[in-house]
Amino acid sequence: MPKRARIGLGLGMFVLPTSIVRITARLPDEPFFPYYQGRAERLVIVPGVITAWVLNWIVSTLDQTLQILPGAWHPDKLLGIHIPGFGVLLTLLILLVVGAVASNFAGRKLVQWGDALVHRIPVVRSIYSSVKQVSDTLFSESGNAFRTAVLVQWPREGVWTVAFVTGAPNGEIAAYLRDEFVSVYVPTTPNPTGGYFVMVRKSDCVELDMSVDSALKYIVSMGVVAPAAPTQLPLK
């Protein structure tokens, strides 16, 4: 090997470890990888971007209600510029008007007449009846569906998950089960709109003090956003 090559190889073997030591020494103060440099910025920017995207989607969707207005009444034509958000105001106005009409005697009669008309349509009545029954159960002030979060062992004994009480079995199912059971909904994560409906013994459920909102956040975040600890833990 030529003398110049041997000298270069020796310098390289000395310089390379020195460079590694120098880079490693400055890692705590000057991050070497760009991922760590922008990690704090992403923790701040990502939630804001997602929130803005969701709000923009909601406003854009509600702005579609402006299509029910005559073309000459559209805010874009009246003002000459497009201002998002008028659909939100129109939706709130429609809800207020419908609520005011349905709360009086004539409005209730009109709603009953509409229900009777829908129930005469063969295919529509089955869909409408199911949706109406579920909505009445969920949004009724006297109902207990989705008012309580519980711990249940699912999908096997020894594995626990958060579920929501939706009611209690009745009729033929209650007569077959005999023991005291409750109906619970076990949501999936991170999308809680899908899940499992199961009936478990009431004695096997552990009722939680956390609110339904806190339980949903806990499920959607896959356990990252933990609810606040109760002031007093239940006695075992």
* Residue 135: pLDDT over 80: no
Given CA atoms 175, 177, 178, 183 in this order, what sign does their dihedral have?
A: negative
CB under 8 Å to 163, separation ≥6 — which residues? 149, 150, 151, 152, 154, 184, 185, 186, 187, 198, 205
The pLDDT tens digits of the residues spanning 53-79 come to 989 999 989 888 888 888 788 888 888
Alpha helices in 103-121 (DSSP H): 105-118
Q: What is the pTM of this model?
A: 0.54
CB 128 within 8 A of CB 176: no
Nearest to 89 by CA among 55, 56, 57, 66: 66
Residue pLDDT, tens place only, 202-234: 999 999 999 889 999 999 988 888 887 765 555
pLDDT digits (tens, 9 = 90+) for 105-116: 878 888 888 888
